[in-house]
Every structure is written in structure tokens, then in C-alpha cells.
Amino acid sequence: MVPFLELKTQYLGIKDEIADAIQRVLDSTQYALGAEVEAFEEEFAAFSGSTYGVGMNSGTSALHLALLAAGAGPGDEVITVPHTFVATVAAVLYAGATPVFVDIDPASYTMDPDLLEAAITKRTKVVMPVHLYGQAADMDPILDVARRHRLTVIEDAAQAHGAEYKERKCGSMGDMACFSFYPGKNLGAYGEAGMVLTDREDYKTTLRMLRDWGQKTKYAHVLKGFNARMDGIQGAVLRVKLRHLEAWTESRRERARQYGELLAGCEPIGLPVEYSDRRHAYHLYVVRVADREGFMGFLGDRDVGAGIHYPTPVHLLEGYADLGYKEGEFPEAERAAAEVVSLPMYPELTSDHVVTVAGAIEEWAAR
């Protein structure tokens, strides 16, 4: 049996470090923000090649408040992709702005830079590429178009801790970058957490106020803010886990290499494309299969876990019907949504697990 995701083994390996970290917070009584959160903000910003970190209570809050800091609001358009987790688009709507979609490049599953310019209007304020599955979007052409049109770039890096693009870390390329530390992410809290990274002091100052009721100093609410503060315990846990992140990412990459070797000749399976100028962090190992239902049923019968990320592109989700999009408008996103399957992928996945999964896939392909 190979589960799709399993968090317990990792926890057991760092149990004592985690217990000490949590105890420190309990003793300090700094349960919301505080010294551990501040230290984690500095450490994660440094790790990601950025200057400032602003800890939040989720990746969704990070996206929402980054959009507000960029000045996006009613009447403004934010360009992003429909093939993403729904939070990317929900955050645009929270800010009161209008999401505008461009299709993905089917090989990378990220924003097709060639389609970006045509989507820009007088109302466009922000471009928000998503580094989906742990691989960077093609940032140079995106940044180039955005600069020419004076648009703010916000990276949705919720799946891309430690990923790189041309030697630059995801999180260091846009004007702001948003991370999630949801438990299943590559760097996962033991609860909910998120962060915005930026090199700009003005954004950092605004974001720190927005997450804490718009306060400049206590009870001086100079902005209409939110309660989006990071917990002290999550900051302490994430500091411990950050020290292991590089080893965990390397482990994911090794398992991905192994999947790639074992499945190379397996014709009905489309393997993920890893670009030579990017370091894929393999948040998810996503293959493409035309007969997805049959494939997943077969894996299920053999006790191999698998997932779909994501079965419906955001422009076709029932809850977002009022955006007014129709089927056929973003064909690559729609085709990806119909064909993608995520295989088991986590740092503690063993080499034997990968052999088992690949064996089941070979069996399915040969039947």
C-alpha cells in the first residue's frame, strides 16, 4: 500500500525538535506573532532570496493582502490562470478586483507568457503567475511584459518553496510573492499559516499593518485591516522544519528522477517536463493520462493513492459561474484538468514505494 500523502513519518523524525520549539512558545506566552514569527520571517525571506517576510494565517490571506498592498480593488483587473487552486482566484475577488484568465502552457502547466500581452487592458493592475506543482512559471517574459505595462507582479508561490528559475528562487522575482504553509505543502505548518515576501519596504510596512487590523501603533488604525496574523506556535514549528527543507526537496527530486526512469517507456503516461533552467520542487508529481478514470480505478484497486489537481479549472467551477466564462475558452487548462493525475510524492516516500507505484502503472499499461 502506498498512500498519496503521509505526514506522520516526517513528524516522528523531528518530534523532539518540534516539542522543544512549541514549549518555547508556551513559555514565552507569545501566541500570536512574537519573536518566533519574526525569526521565521527573516529566515524564510533569506532562504528565498528576498528581503522582508510578513507572516500570515494562511496562503489565502497572503494573496489577499498582497493584492490590497498592490492597490488592486474594484475596477481593477488581475491576470492569472484558470488551472490553479481556487484560492488564487478567490483572493482576487476578496480584494474586490476582477480576475482575468490567460491559458497555460501545457508542458509546464503555468501561465503561457505568449498570451499575456493580449489580456492586458487599461484596467490591468496585477499579473499573478502561479508556480504550479512546484515548478516556476516562465518568469522572464512575464516580468518583461509586466514592466513594459507598469504592472505589479505577485507570485503565487504556495507550491514552490525552494523552487528556482534561472538560479533565482521562487519568491524573489515578483514585486511580492505569496507562500502557503498549509500542512500538506512542501514546507507545512502544524496548522494554518502563510507569508508574503517582498524587497520593498513600503509593501512590507503596509502588509504588517493590514494583517493586524491596520494598526500603525496600538489602536491607531490608519488602514481598514484584518486579523491575518501568524500564530507563534506555527512560526516556531516552521523554523524547525525550514532547517530540513533542502534535504526534503532533494528527496522529492530523487523520487521524481526515479519515477521518470521507471516510467520512461510507458507510452500512455505523459511525464512531467522539468525545464533545464528551473529547479522543480515537486510539490506534486503530475502525469497525464487520457483514460484517467480507468487508470485511477486500477491504482485504487492496488492500494496506490493518487489525486487530481485540479479536476475543474476555476473558470468552470460552479461557484464562479458569475464570472461569465464558458467551456472552450481556455482549452489547455481544460485539457489538463481532464487528464492530470498526481502520483504519491513526499520526502518520506521510499524508493520501494516508487517501484511499487511504477509497477502498478506498467501493469495497467500492459493490460
Ligand X SMILES: *Cc1c(COP(=O)(O)O)cnc(C)c1O
Considering only residues 30, 50, 80, 84, which one is a binding residue for ligand X as defined by CB under 6 A? 84
Considering the complex, what minimum distance in angstroms separates the CB of residue 334 from ligand X?
18
What letter represents residue 30's amino acid?
Q
**Can you tell me the distance from the alpha carbon of 76 to that of 138, in angstroms, rounded to the nearest whole number?**
24
Nearest to 135 by CA among 256, 243, 283, 11: 283
Residue among 110 and 172 whose Cβ is closer to ligand X:
110
Helix (H, G, I), strand (E, B) or coil at 364: helix
Considering the complex, what minimum distance in angstroms separates the CB of residue 177 from ligand X?
11
Considering only residues 47, 101, 133, 182, which one is a binding residue for ligand X as defined by CB under 6 A? 182
Residue among 89 and 360 whose Cβ is closer to ligand X:
89
| Residues numbered 313-342 forming contacts with ligand X, rule: CB under 6 A | none
Does 59 help bind ligand X (rule: CB under 6 A)?
Answer: yes
Considering only residues 2, 25, 79, 130, which one is a binding residue for ligand X as defined by CB under 6 A? 130
Does 156 help bind ligand X (rule: CB under 6 A)?
Answer: yes
Map grid coordinates 496506490 to a residue. 304
Considering the complex, what minimum distance in angstroms separates the CB of residue 172 from ligand X?
18
Q: Please, what is the Cα angle at 127 between 235 and 339, to 5 degrees?
A: 85
Considering only residues 50, 80, 135, 180, which one is a binding residue for ligand X as defined by CB under 6 A? 180
Contact between 109 and 132 under an 8 Å Cβ cutoff? The reply is: yes
Considering only residues 80, 98, 152, 159, which one is a binding residue for ligand X as defined by CB under 6 A? 159
Buried b (16+ CB within 10 A) or exposed e, 13-51: eeeebbeebbebbeeeebeebbebbbebbebbbebbbbe
Considering only residues 30, 48, 88, 135, which one is a binding residue for ligand X as defined by CB under 6 A? 88
Instruction: State residue 310 phi and psi, 5-degree precision.
Output: -135, 150
Considering only residues 45, 158, 196, 289, which one is a binding residue for ligand X as defined by CB under 6 A? 158
| Residues numbered 193-232 forming contacts with ligand X, rule: CB under 6 A | 194
Considering the complex, what minimum distance in angstroms separates the CB of residue 227 from ligand X?
15
Considering only residues 48, 60, 98, 135, which one is a binding residue for ligand X as defined by CB under 6 A? 60
Considering only residues 70, 87, 289, 306, which one is a binding residue for ligand X as defined by CB under 6 A? 87
Does 129 help bind ligand X (rule: CB under 6 A)?
Answer: no
Considering only residues 40, 85, 325, 364, which one is a binding residue for ligand X as defined by CB under 6 A? 85
Contact between 145 and 113 under an 8 Å Cβ cutoff? The reply is: yes
Which among 155-163, 214-222, 232-240, 287-295 is the span making contact with ligand X, rule CB under 6 A? 155-163
Nearest to 233 by CA among 75, 51, 31: 31
Tallying the residues shown for the chain, one arrives at 367
Cα–Cα distances in Å, from 250 out to 154, 217, 246?
Answer: 26, 43, 6
Instruction: Please work out the total of residues on this chain that contact ligand X, with binding judged by CB under 6 A.
Output: 14
Pairing relationship of beta strands 152-156 and 164-165 according to DSSP bridges: unpaired
Q: How far apart are the first and last CA of the chain?
A: 21
- Residue window 5-44: x/- pattern of binding to ligand X, with contact defined by CB under 6 A: ----------------------------------------
Contact between 62 and 179 under an 8 Å Cβ cutoff? The reply is: yes
Helix (H, G, I), strand (E, B) or coil at 189: coil
**Interface positions with ligand X (CB under 6 A):** 58-60, 84-85, 87-88, 130, 156, 158-159, 180, 182, 194
